[in-house]
Structure 1
């Protein structure tokens, strides 16, 4: 009995459609990786939309869908405590979101972070103004990285500030 012939005949019985999608077994790891990234993106986007809906934000100008693909999104409340961090935070900082929720962004700062830059950031936050800065931050393991931060105050439909949203990436 020739198993190769039996397999070929059986396969031919069930694979008569020219539309069959055949993916080489070597590509499954790439497919899985892409699928995993899409799931994370979708999950983050849904959570941000839930926060926006709850606080009645107008997010049109923020371009969240586009920016979420390239940047880490961190949302803080008015006390500057982190209430959301997108999945990219782990790759960028080494911290899981659960480890930084309720903490302030100063968690990522250290001795080489410019005090002048930090003062300018605090001033922009107090004045409820957008800002863009590149500062030295620290990963969980102590490694330094330059972090480009673009931050906006977020207002509800009554024009009251509720949060700050920061788009961050390694510079």
Structure 2
């Protein structure tokens, strides 16, 4: 393993996350990344799509949409604390977990348009390799009616697998949960 460049080790983080702490430490101790610096191969893409101003604009648009939804559904929640976290996609579902809104990042991450996703449950992203235990854990955590974080194996529109970390926040109207907000991050 010592001869591999970490940049070429796709899935290493996923593999390491599946191990217990003792096993993880054993593998990490054996990894010796090369001391070379990989050349930047996609500057044009990075500079065009990931500039701080673009990210700030996206977050601003997401915040504005969430505030409109909050007014529509009379939510009492401080989105600024949530929205300032790192995420690739936002998904809002109703209490039956049917999607009512996604941000543009959802399309970028999954390949599914907002119009396709609306009315569906997020489980449409799951597939044959998605862990049953993870699906059960998510259902149980939703029942607790508290924010939580969970990692799950999902599938993009082209059926490519990807690991997704979801942070789910129950949203309340008059003290009763009526919706859920999920911040989703693709794990590389």
Q: TM-score range by the shorter chain?
A: 0.7 to 0.9
Q: Distance between the aligned counterparts of 1:152 and 1:70, measured in 2? A: 13
Counterpart check, 1:63 vs 2:47? no
- TM-score normalised by length of structure 1: 0.72
Q: Deviations over 1:74-95 (max 9, x none)?
A: 1100111001111111111111
**d(CA) in 1 for partners of 2:169 and 2:50?**
32
Deviations 1:51-90 (A, max 9, x none): 11222222227623313x6331111001110011111111
CA 1:117–1:53: 2 relative to 1, 3 Å: same
Name the TM-score, length of structure 2 as normaliser: 0.66
Matched ranges for 1:1-171 at <5 A:
39-60=57-78, 63-67=81-85, 70-156=87-173, 158-171=174-187
Residues paired across the two proteins, number: 142
SS in structure 2 of the partner of residue 46 of structure 1:
helix
Question: C-alpha distance in 1, partners of 2:146/2:50?
Answer: 38
| Runs of 4+ with >6 A deviation | none
Greater displacement, 123-132 / 140-149:
123-132
* More divergent stretch after superposition (101-110 vs 90-99): 90-99
Q: What is the aligned-residue RMSD (CA, Å)?
A: 2.5
Please identify, of 113-122 and 129-138, the stretch whose mean Cα deviation from structure 2 is larger: 129-138
Structure 1 CA distance for aligned equivalents of residues 78 and 144 of structure 2 = 22
